[in-house]
Structure 1
Amino acid sequence: MGIQRISSKLSVCPQILVKDLAEVKAAGFMGIICNRPDGEGADQPRFAEIEKAANEIGLAALYVPVQSGAASMRDVAAFGKALEDLENPVLAYCGSGMRSASLWSLQHTR
């Protein structure tokens, strides 16, 4: 999956699949944040599929979609709120993990 730890509360990674969720839970994550809008890539699962499977195994899942390269301050605030709302540690994902890491960085510099 290519998980990169950003802080004690957050790690990021590229797109996850339903089959990855058991590994995410086993790694100790309590919640996930999806920063990738549905339909961005032909091979990505819809967030609703990830959310349903995550909830079935006790992982909270929040959808904070952000267009690649176009994060607004509203997006940054929504990401910060999602981090506050979820029990830590959290795994955020997008296409490559960079968008999620950037949101975290921007959230800490505002």
Structure 2
Amino acid sequence: MTNHVLKRLICCLILSCSTTVFAEESLSKALTNTLSVSGQMSSEKFSQLLQQGFKSVVVNRPDSEEGNKVKVSELREIAERQHVSVIYQPVTSGKITQTDIAEFAKYYNELPKPILMVCRSGTRSSTLFNQAKTQGLLHE
């Protein structure tokens, strides 16, 4: 095998491995070793995420929000088959209140971990977590 062919083979192997890693990482983003966030959800994506070992799910996206592809009742059915808790805590994007933050902190402190938080892009879930953490409301 020539050096040129060997270099091409190595590049192909590296690209195929990194594509797999990026595909898995795109399902969710870990904020800590006990909490991850995920955006736009489908039944298939949710099932794949639960295979990663999450023990609890907090859904922050309102069922009625435009573009929502799957209702919390569907996610709950999937989760219950795998003995995973689902909490529905819908919050309005850009309008997270202190009450929302305190409610999330209560769930975080009581739920089995690791926890998956779900919203449209992951931003409002991340905001809830980060605000609760900044305020010292999370018992880790």
Q: Which runs of 5+ in 2 are unaligned?
A: 1-25, 136-140
State which of 48, 55, 58 in structure 1 corresponds to 2:83.
58
Q: Deviations over 1:56-78 (max 9, x none)?
A: 22211101110000000000011
Residue correspondence of structure 1 range 57-96 to structure 2 within 5 A: 57-96=82-121
Residue 51 (structure 2) pairs with residue 2 (structure 1): no
Q: Secondary structure at the match of 1:99?
A: helix
Count of aligned positions: 110
Percent identity, aligned pairs only, is 29
Q: Secondary structure at the match of 2:58?
A: strand
Highest CA radius of gyration, 1 or 2? 2
How large is the Cα RMSD of the aligned pairs? 1.4
Q: TM-score, normalised by structure 1?
A: 0.91
Q: TM-score, normalised by structure 2?
A: 0.73
Runs of 4+, deviation exceeding 6 Å: none
Greater RCO (CA < 8 Å, at least 6 residues apart): 1
Q: Which runs of 5+ in 1 are unaligned?
A: none
